[in-house]
Amino acid sequence: MQTPLTVTFRNIEPSQAIETHVRRRFEDLGRLHPRIVDGDVTIEAPQKRQVSGRPFKVHLRVGIPGPDINVTRESGKGTAAADINLAVNDAFETAGRLLVEKKREAA
């Protein structure tokens, strides 16, 4: 990767554990497609505070030669940690499938 991964938190306190998880998952993508040049991940919570559960959105952009891979996933309502991890994992699994398809098309 030529440019470091950028992780942004919106309307939520930054979490080192979540950021570490995101960076680890991004490294895994590098094993699927060797030509990743950069990436951005935004973890977003709604502005309005809710009493029980908050849906979280994860926006993932993976920069590769040609069109970038862009994925957005949203979790349901539940416990905060479970929702964030669910949305992060879903976004990275989708991006992984798309990267494998792009790599297969290029071959």
Give pLDDT, residue 4. Answer: 87
Strand order in the sheet with 57-63: 6-10, 38-44, 57-63, 69-74
d(CA 66, CA 97): 17
| Residue 103 pLDDT level (bands cut at 50, 70, 90) | confident
Domains detected in the chain: 6-106 (3.30.160.100)
Give pLDDT, residue 96. Answer: 95
d(CA 85, CA 90): 8
pTM of the model: 0.85
Kindly tell me the sign of the dihedral angle through the C-alpha atoms of 67, 11, 80, 5: positive
pLDDT tens for residues 16-71?
999 999 999 999 999 998 889 999 999 998 776 654 566 789 999 999 988 999 99
Give pLDDT, residue 104. Answer: 85
pLDDT reading at 78 higher than 60: no
Q: Poorest-confidence range of 3-12, 40-49, 53-62, 74-83?
A: 74-83
Instruction: Find the mean pLDDT for residues 96-101.
Output: 93
In this structure, what DSSP letter does residue 68 have? P
d(CA 79, CA 99): 30
How far does Cα 57 stand from its chain's mean position?
9
